[in-house]
Amino acid sequence: MRRRGRCQTPKRSTPGARASARTCGFRLSSGPRTLCTGGDVAKKRILFIDDRPDHLRQPVLRLQLAGYEVEEAVSGAAGLARLRQDPFDLLILDADLPTEDGWGVLKEVRGDPSLSALRAIVFMAAKGETQKLMLVTVDAELRRPFSMGALLDAVRQVIGEP
């Protein structure tokens, strides 16, 4: 049984058995084996920019339940400031920010050398906006409406498991 954030000593271990740390979750050492499930590993960080709180709740909660650390920004300007303040692995951005151009925010991110490693997923309208994908690099796109499963799949493809 895996528990996040806690390390525990397994009740039984087979003498001489050496399994890889990657497949079994054990940290191999000369002392007793300790099962460590991520308490000492940094979670992958996601910044979610959308200025409509009702659009943020469900995706943010779903990503947090999957094990990602998710922060929210309610505007493009606030999101850009946050991105420049702390490192993030992924930016999820609504291209249709009602008071700002989401594509403009993404262009600014792509033009900033300090954010060159940042990956991006863009939420787009069901139709249109395809020509904008040629102007700004994105790692994945999700067209509305989409399921939370599709969002989680896209995040895993772009940055991997939490």
Do 151 and 123 lie in one domain? The reply is: yes
Q: Give residues with Cβ within 8 angstroms of 46, minimum separation 6.
A: 63, 68, 69, 70, 71, 88, 89, 90, 91, 92, 155, 159
The rounded Cα 114 to chain-centroid distance in angstroms is: 18
Distance CA 31, CA 64 (A): 34
Look at residue 1 and tell me if it is in a domain. no
Whether 2 maps to a domain, the answer reads: no
Instruction: Evaluate whether residue 94 is within a structural domain.
Output: yes
Digitized pLDDT (tens) for each residue of the chain, 162 residues in all: 433 443 433 343 444 443 333 333 333 334 333 333 445 567 999 999 987 777 778 999 999 999 999 999 989 999 999 999 999 999 999 888 777 888 889 999 999 999 999 999 999 877 765 555 567 889 999 988 889 999 999 999 999 999
Nearest to 4 by CA among 65, 49, 90: 65
Q: 3-class DSSP state for residue 90?
A: strand
Looking at the fold, whether 27 and 50 belong to one and the same domain comes out as: no
Alpha carbon distance 124, 142 (integer Å): 6
Q: What's the rounded Cα separation, in Å, for the pair 44 and 16?
A: 35
State the residue range of the domain holding 17: 7-36
Q: CA 60, CA 110: separation in Å to the nearest integer?
A: 23
**Residues 102 and 137 both lie in one domain:** yes
| pLDDT number for residue 33 | 38
Residues in contact with 70: Cβ distance below 8 Å, sequence separation at least 6, in sequence order = 45, 46, 47, 48, 60, 63, 64
Task: Note whether 26 and 102 are same-domain residues.
Answer: no
**133, 59: one domain:** yes
Instruction: Report the domain count for the chain.
Output: 2
